[in-house]
């Protein structure tokens, strides 16, 4: 069973707190958060915003400034801080960059680990967040979300809101359920051209539910207001085909789900 509380980010900046107060994910976050008991086969994730003057970067570090990200075993009473061997995969979408860290082997039990980033030209990596492992591995994938509906509002609809923040889409439905109790999280891919969705590539990003809205959606892609994040690059066209899979902290993937986003009419009040 995952141990959760209301805090979901390793570090909270003023801009991050503003985004969270609106009920949307901040642009930058680290997973797992510090208040969960992470599985021994955890796959950490770091999302950082680009420095466009609006980014709520983690401890002042935006994606543009990062030379590398890394995982470290935190120092203890009888052990020094030690770097953990990982393979890092990157994906960019919208104003965000996501780093996926895959550990070469299982982590140590009941041990604190740190996620760090090395800024360009600076020798010492900066702490972005930390988590603590439990005593178990997690190999059971979540169930996928069900009964999905969506709205899609391309920027060329001409409304003031879309002109300012760009295209966005919202997905609604029954949330994914994880057998170990991890919170709903979704990896998202997009189909470009006739190639279809390339599931073998890293997802464009990780998206989580709006936490504070009275009637929350599964998640939002793009930015519909100053509260949300321009986190997704939409292909041009009247329809967009996306793929999503629920994930947990070990990056176990649910069965894939494909959704066609079709332009919603601004006149029906759904786009703003």
What are phi and psi for residue 173, nearest 5 degrees? 155, -170
**Statement to judge: residues 121 and 207 lie in one domain:** no
Q: Report yes or no on 160 lying in a domain.
A: yes
Question: Which pLDDT tens digit goes with each residue over 151-195?
Answer: 888 876 555 445 556 788 889 899 999 999 999 999 999 997 777
Q: Tell me the whole-structure pTM to 2 decimals.
A: 0.84
Q: 240 forms bridges with which residues in the sheet?
A: 261
CATH number of the domain residue 88 falls in: 2.60.40
Question: Which pLDDT tens digit goes with each residue over 104-155?
Answer: 888 999 999 999 999 888 888 999 999 999 999 999 999 999 999 888 888 7
Q: Report yes or no on 190 lying in a domain.
A: yes
10 Å Cβ neighbour count for 239? Answer: 11
- Name the nearest CA neighbour of 117 among 33, 30, 43: 30
State the residue range of the domain holding 155.
Answer: 146-268
Q: How far apart are CA 215 and CA 209, in angstroms?
A: 11
DSSP-derived letter for residue 215 is: S
């Amino acid at each position: 069973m995952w141990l959760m509380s209301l805090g979901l980010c390793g570090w909270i900046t003023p801009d991050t707190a503003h985004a969270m107060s609106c009920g949307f994910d901040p642009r930058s976050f680290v997973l797992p958060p510090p208040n969960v008991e992470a599985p021994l086969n955890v796959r950490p994730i770091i999302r950082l915003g680009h420095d466009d003057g609006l980014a709520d970067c983690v401890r002042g570090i935006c994606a543009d400034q990062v030379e590398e990200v890394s995982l470290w075993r935190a120092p203890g009473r009888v052990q020094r801080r030690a770097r953990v061997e990982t393979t890092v995969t990157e994906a960019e979408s919208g104003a965000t960059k996501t780093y996926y860290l895959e550990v070469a082997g299982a982590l140590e039990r009941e041990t604190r680990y740190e996620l760090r980033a090395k800024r360009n030209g600076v020798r010492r990596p900066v702490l972005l967040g930390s988590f603590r492992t439990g005593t178990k591995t997690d190999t059971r994938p979540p169930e996928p979300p069900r009964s999905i509906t969506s709205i899609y509002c391309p920027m060329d609809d001409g409304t003031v809101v879309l002109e300012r923040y760009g295209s966005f889409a919202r997905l609604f439905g029954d949330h994914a359920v994880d057998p170990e109790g991890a919170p709903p999280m979704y990896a998202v891919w997009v189909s470009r051209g006739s190639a279809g969705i390339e599931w073998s590539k890293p997802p464009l990003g990780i998206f989580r539910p709006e936490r504070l809205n009275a009637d929350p959606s599964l998640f939002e892609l793009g930015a519909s207001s100053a509260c949300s994040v321009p986190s997704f690059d939409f292909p041009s066209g009247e329809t967009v085909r996306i793929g999503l899979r629920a994930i947990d902290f070990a990056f176990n993937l649910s069965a894939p789900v494909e959704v066609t986003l079709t332009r919603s009419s601004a006149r029906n009040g759904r786009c703003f």
